[in-house]
Structure 1
Amino acid sequence: MNSAAHPPSVPAAPDRSSLRQAALAHLARFGTTRHGLGQVLLRRVARWQRQAVAAGAEPDQADATARQLGGTVAQVVAEMVAAGAVDDSAFARSRVRRLTRSGRSGRAIAAHLAARGVEAQVSAQALSGDADSTPESALSIPGHTPLNATERDLCAAVVLARKRRLGPFNPAAGEDTQDPFDDDTDGGGNAPRANARAKALGVLARAGFARDTAERVLDMDPEEAQDWLERLKGEP
């Protein structure tokens, strides 16, 4: 059969109902921001536009319909926000907790949130750990004081130090033996130890931690480092 004589039918453009269903399906599987949800729905519109043009629709008409659907996407996203299904503040708090526990610095987390469309003010509140950005359930825990931004960054640096076996987690620290982070094999004096510390500082700096935070972590004894890890673990 000659396919050119029987072109495929142009698919129907998504409408408000189908976009709303797509939004609900996405939210059932993933946490996201209003910007993120909007991008998901706009990609759905763009996919329809490509398929419509490939099926024989006039490009100008398909483009005009896609622009019109952009307004519908904005309405659907606003509806999800109003219903509480999308909450940028809650998303930011969740990501701050998760990424801190993985050893990400406040700078790295702020960049992550910005890339997902979280407004700078919302991101700053989530990172600050102030009462306005802390759930009431956490504030009601007896004896619980939420970590502030400095303490959270310190905890994250401790997590990274544990992962990379730096500072208090370096079994060779304080020993008069060749440091495992040093490439010099002469086994002599303080130079290998100083070189190892410089490399450890570099690891923490590249991860986005301030010099004073990195120095403090590297100077911790194992007991203090564990105390900070326990403090982080106790965060709701």
Structure 2
Amino acid sequence: MSEPKPKPPRKPPRPVSREWMFRAAAHYLERYASTQAHLGRVLERKVMRRCRERGEDPAEHADLVAETVAKFVELKLIDDRQFAEGRLATLRRRGASKRQTAMKLTEKGVDRETVAAVMEADETDEAAAARALAKRRRLGPHRLRERTERRDRDVAALMRAGFSFRDSAAAIDGDGSDEPSDA
């Protein structure tokens, strides 16, 4: 039995260039919606990885990252306001509280003024969002058994998700319909 042939050494990756950066950003935006700040962080990570493999300083390419993000904003392929509106609708439909939604938008790099403006325009009722989360997580009236024994834990779970005690208790003690109960 012969020994396996040694693998030839890998060539270092090609250097970071304006074209490479543009293609990387375009590829990312084809798959995911993004904000300016988030795309910048993604590109910085890509540059850092590539520079580490080449033994270069990633700080040399910081201007190129900013220039690429600005180019996509100029082309109107990135719009923080539009991203925030779409993400807000998705999160609220899934049952996220206003607090949690604002936090997630801020984490993605949406500035506070835009978050405040988008949250102001939100017409989703907090109680309806609490009921949606209870349904999605099978809490309260959507639990198949042990409903009364688990009531306090279910209320606490909704409160940890950012809902008030009143909205949490109403969602857990309700009958499971999407309409608010008049108690």
TM-score > 0.5 by shorter chain: yes
Q: Work out whether residues 106 and 127 of structure 1, in 8 Å CA contact, stay in contact via their aligned partners in 2.
A: yes
Structure 2 runs not aligned, ≥5 long: none
The 5-angstrom pairing of residues 83-122 of structure 1 reads 83-122=75-114
Q: Which residue in the other structure is 1:211 paired with?
A: 165
Q: Work out whether residues 181 and 199 of structure 1, in 8 Å CA contact, stay in contact via their aligned partners in 2.
A: no
The 5-angstrom pairing of residues 89-168 of structure 1 reads 89-129=81-121, 147=123, 151=125, 153-163=126-136, 164-167=138-141
Q: Which has the larger radius of gyration?
A: 1
Q: Distance in 1 between matches of 2:144 and 2:61?
A: 60
The offset of 1:161, in angstroms, is 2.2
Q: Distance in 2 between matches of 1:162 and 1:8?
A: 52
Q: Distance in 1 between matches of 2:169 and 2:147?
A: 19
One-letter code aligned to 1:180: R
Structure 1 runs not aligned, ≥5 long: 54-61, 131-146, 173-178, 183-195, 229-236
Q: Secondary structure at the match of 2:33?
A: coil
The offset of 1:118, in angstroms, is 1.4
The offset of 1:7, in angstroms, is 7.4
Q: Work out whether residues 157 and 214 of structure 1, in 8 Å CA contact, stay in contact via their aligned partners in 2.
A: yes
Q: Which residue in the other structure is 1:191 paired with?
A: none
Q: Secondary structure at the match of 1:104?
A: coil
The offset of 1:205, in angstroms, is 0.6
Q: Which residue in the other structure is 1:231 paired with?
A: none
- 1:134-179 deviation per Cα after TM superposition (whole angstroms, max 9, x unaligned): xxxxxxxxxxxxx15xx1x222101022232425x5688xxxxxx6
The offset of 1:76, in angstroms, is 0.8
Q: Distance in 2 between matches of 1:106 and 1:24?
A: 31
Q: Distance in 2 between matches of 1:8 and 1:171?
A: 57
Say if 1:171 and 1:26 are closer, same or farther in 2 by CA, change over 3 A: closer
Q: Work out whether residues 100 and 155 of structure 1, in 8 Å CA contact, stay in contact via their aligned partners in 2.
A: no
Q: Which residue in the other structure is 2:33 paired with?
A: 31
Normalising by structure 1, we get a TM-score of 0.64
Q: Distance in 1 between matches of 2:11 and 2:152?
A: 65
Q: Distance in 1 between matches of 2:130 and 2:147?
A: 20
Q: Work out whether residues 85 and 118 of structure 2, in 8 Å CA contact, stay in contact via their aligned partners in 1.
A: yes
1:180 aligned onto 2:154: no
One-letter code aligned to 1:206: R
The offset of 1:200, in angstroms, is 3.2
Superposed CA RMSD: 2.8
Q: Distance in 2 between matches of 1:180 and 1:103?
A: 20
